[in-house]
Structure 1
Amino acid sequence: MHTPNLNQLFGEIEDGVKYFELRAEPVRQEVLDGIFIEGWGYNGSIPGPTIIVNPGDEVCIKVYNELPEKTSIHWHGMDIPQKMDGAAQLQPSPTIEQGDFYEYRFKVVNPPGTHMYHTHLNTQVQQMMGLGGGFIIKDENDEVDYDYFLLLQEFAVEDLEHMTLEKGTYKVDAHSHDFNFYTINGKCFPATTPMKAEEGKDLRIRMGALGHSLHPMHVHGHQFTIENQDGNPLPETMKMKRNSVSLSSGETFEVKIHANNPGSWPFHCHTPHHMANNHTEGHGGMMTSIEYIEK
């Protein structure tokens, strides 16, 4: 599976259990060449690494808290015991105090599909500081040629003069809705990584949205088939052929594209302001591409 710009965690198996570790901590993330944001992430990155599991796995995810406040993690879309769900203020699911850790343990009972994980404590701050990542249930017998995951986020970056791109390190204002950087896997175009494919092959593109805004994702030069929504496989009668799909906050989609039109093809959010970096001219923001590999 390919996850541009992202680390993957496959876990270490011991006595039939897959063990993972996540560390919630302040992160200095490079979103563009020479432009860094100071946010919060997991394992040194925004977003955090993508966790890969299989149906039926018993998992244990040890989460360390190195943030300046307590936190928790919610396993978004997963059918798990209440104590493991992470909505600490609404459930008997514990918070993780500063400097402490907690082990989330559950069995993967959901079918293959795309999910996410994110903080569920002081979410209006912690989630908008960057605390989230992908959680993918992978079919071991899946034979798709290319499998990509794109996590969509947005940030209100302080102290960078409007319509400029001066290199430096800037803080994130988690309380602001004046977003000026829109990222795919923690990067803005042109720093995003293209999705490579050979002609005649099939691509699965998984998408998840963790921010505040709606993101209509659009591909050029191709049609795709929507196969899965919110981690749930769609019946054949609902698998629509489209070239755009809109993701609200918390939604995931999986689409499949047959690579039958060689070239370099944009894949991007169609909201105009989301295709810019700090409102500057030229393409930027939540944009990547499908790039055909020359044989």
Structure 2
Amino acid sequence: MRVLRRRWTAALLAAGLALLAGCSSVGPAGPAAGGGDGAAPVDTAGSEMATAPAILRPDANGEIRLVAKPARLEVAPGVEKEVWAYNGSVPGPEIRVKQGETIRVRFKNELPVPTTIHWHGYPVPNEMDGVPGVTQNLVKPGEEFVYEFKATVAGTYMYHSHQESAEQVDRGLYGALVVEEPESAYDRDFALILDEWTKAGESNAEPAGTGMDHGSMGGMSGQSSQGTEAQGMQGMQGMQGMQGMQGMGDMPGMSGDTNHDGMGSPQDMSMPMHTMQYDIFTINGKSGSLVQPLTVTEGERVRIRLINMGYLRHDLHLHGHSFTVVARDGQPVAGGRPLKDQLISIAPGERVDIAFTADNPGTWYLEAHDAGAAAASGMKVAIAYEGASQQTDQPNETAQLPVVDLLNYGQDEQGPFTLDQEYDVQYTMELGTGMGENGVIYTINGKTFPDTPPIRVKEGDLVQVRIVNRSPTDEHPMHLHGHFFQVLSRNGKPLTGAPVIKDTLNVKPGEEYVIAFRTDNPGNWVFHCHELHHAAGGMVTQVLYDGYVSNVQPEPDARPE
């Protein structure tokens, strides 16, 4: 953990005052691009332009090779960004393996800073999980590390940096991991990664004129979190027009649109400052006309794996076709009813797989219908039928459409857990937003990591967790490493439909969920918000197995948020 060296509180106040004054600048220009706190400057002189992500399978020796290094990326027409890329592409290569294969990834770090790789959603052995200071030591510049694990569970996953991840992921260190079933039921299979970028600034980590370091936004400081959400607010009171900042991390007086389901949305004007900066929305690293179409042939069965690697929830609309949801967070959904002209909502860290039959020749869009200030124009991809010569569709991203309730969907059947069974461990996780000594903090049970109370377990325990979001406007997509969990209830009502098995659950303001899981993967595992700025601000805890001994050595530069 670290002491914050940048005055985020002052930057936040300056941002709020500038917004109230109608100014576009929120503070003095920040340091040169490349600066996480204490990070080496990034020299991109001579960096190559990033390429389109390739599909990468194990070589003849059973290995997959990844190299992280600086590059440049055209994210939108005429907009280039300095990025950090795996194998020269953003996203990184789409890693595909067959279920049952051993995944062996030889990773080399050619960045100017240390890093790691986390295999998001996958139940890897603890020492392969990629969390610095918790499950492994840092991979320093010039070093190599070999990740190895068995591909036991088919589905859609992803990989990304877990060192200063709010910054390193923002710079482009992420990719798709697809574990294929032995036999596919589909003729076409596409993976689409959603993300957000900024036009301003050379890199995505610190837009010009903000003076903010996204990797330094809050209480991951090594100091005690010193308690509650109200802390540090006294100095904020009495400022004209700033009352809306009391007790929350959002900007003053900015409450606005709600999303299509009536719940508060981070895409409206209640967004925190760091998310308000995003103004380019990408699919596989490209926006608008740069997004490559998906080619299909009439009669084919098509699977699209939607992956949200950004920091905003996105609502996707498939034009011109009925479809079904076939997986949530990589786990299959049986008996889903056909859907048409309804939105699929995907929060940060989540994955949703949809399937359809290509039975309507022409060119059709799959596009975001996000609401409010961050409406994601440019986050659209054309589905183009081979041989179809005419444009049959137009974007309609402003249309308000119903959102599918993915937690009550599919064939109703019994899952592995129930609400009324006996549990060995029960834990209540209250999520909050507030102000600390160094700025905005995001808390679990009133504390920021590393002072958050852990979930202590033994191997074989049945664990029930009650998650409550006390934040006034922030959504918190909570992600558990190393395990799948079943979602049992929302706001006191048991779920219906196919059992909801996930690793990431979006908890909106005021919502309450009960989840359950079995401790079948010994180790020390983090459980955190996957809006990674919130994790950087303290919203992290751990699941700690009794008797597990880690070989990780303490490192002052390890920042596992």
TM-score of the two chains, using structure 2 as the length reference: 0.46
Residues 185-224 of structure 1 mapped to structure 2, 5 A cutoff: 185-224=284-323
Greater share of residues in strand: 1
Q: 1:123 to 1:240 in 2, by over 3 A?
A: farther
**Which residue in the other structure is 1:124 paired with?**
166
Q: Which one has a bigger Cα radius of gyration?
A: 2
**Which residue in the other structure is 2:152 paired with?**
109
Query: Does 1:139 find its partner at 2:181?
Result: yes
**Which residue in the other structure is 1:9 paired with?**
56
**Which residue in the other structure is 2:351 paired with?**
252
Quote the sequence identity (%). Answer: 33
Deviations 1:162-212 (A, max 9, x none): xxxxxxxx3323424300111101110111011111222211111111110
Deviations 1:46-66 (A, max 9, x none): 110000111111121011111
After TM superposition, which residue ranges in structure 1, 4 or more long, deviate above 4 angstroms?
none
Counterpart of 1:198, as a letter, is: T
- Specify which of 172, 190, 208 is matched with residue 204 of structure 2: 172
- Whether the 8 Å CA contact 1:274–1:286 is kept in 2: the answer is no
**Which residue in the other structure is 2:84 paired with?**
40
**Which residue in the other structure is 1:275 paired with?**
376
Query: Does 1:76 find its partner at 2:175?
Result: no
Higher relative contact order, structure no. (Cα contacts within 8 Å, ≥ 6 residues apart)? 1
In 2: Cα distance, 1:132 partner to 1:103 partner? 17
Instruction: Give the paired residue count.
Output: 267
Paired residue secondary structure (1:171): coil
In 1: Cα distance, 2:203 partner to 2:334 partner? 44
**Which residue in the other structure is 1:162 paired with?**
none
**Which residue in the other structure is 2:197 paired with?**
155
Query: Does 1:286 find its partner at 2:286?
Result: no
- Whether the 8 Å CA contact 1:217–1:269 is kept in 2: the answer is yes
In 2: Cα distance, 1:223 partner to 1:143 partner? 17
Q: Any unmatched runs of 5+ in structure 2?
A: 1-50, 207-213, 215-273, 389-561
Paired residue secondary structure (1:205): strand
Counterpart of 2:59, as a letter, is: E
**Which residue in the other structure is 2:107 paired with?**
63
Residue 31 (structure 1) shift:
1.7
Paired residue secondary structure (1:241): coil
In 1: Cα distance, 2:143 partner to 2:112 partner? 12
In 1: Cα distance, 2:310 partner to 2:110 partner? 22
**Which residue in the other structure is 1:282 paired with?**
none
Residue 124 (structure 1) shift:
1.2
In 2: Cα distance, 1:240 partner to 1:89 partner? 44
Q: 1:99 to 1:5 in 2, by over 3 A?
A: closer
Paired residue secondary structure (1:130): coil
**Which residue in the other structure is 2:67 paired with?**
23
- Whether the 8 Å CA contact 1:84–1:105 is kept in 2: the answer is yes
Counterpart of 1:99, as a letter, is: G
Paired residue secondary structure (1:12): coil
In 2: Cα distance, 1:132 partner to 1:247 partner? 17
Counterpart of 1:105, as a letter, is: E
Residue 140 (structure 1) shift:
3.4
Counterpart of 2:165, as a letter, is: T
In 2: Cα distance, 1:28 partner to 1:5 partner? 12
- Whether the 8 Å CA contact 2:65–2:106 is kept in 1: the answer is yes
Paired residue secondary structure (2:119): strand
In 1: Cα distance, 2:184 partner to 2:165 partner? 35
Paired residue secondary structure (1:124): helix
- Specify which of 241, 244, 253 is matched with residue 338 of structure 2: 241
Deviations 1:109-167 (A, max 9, x none): 11x211100011101111111110000001232141111110111112324xxxxxxxx
Task: Indicate the RMSD between aligned Cα atoms, in angstroms.
Answer: 1.7
Q: Any unmatched runs of 5+ in structure 1?
A: 160-169, 277-284
- Specify which of 253, 260, 280 is matched with residue 181 of structure 1: 280
**Which residue in the other structure is 2:141 paired with?**
98
Residue 261 (structure 1) shift:
1.7
Counterpart of 1:59, as a letter, is: I
Deviates more, 1:182-191 or 1:30-39: 30-39
Counterpart of 2:87, as a letter, is: N
Counterpart of 2:376, as a letter, is: M
Counterpart of 1:275, as a letter, is: A
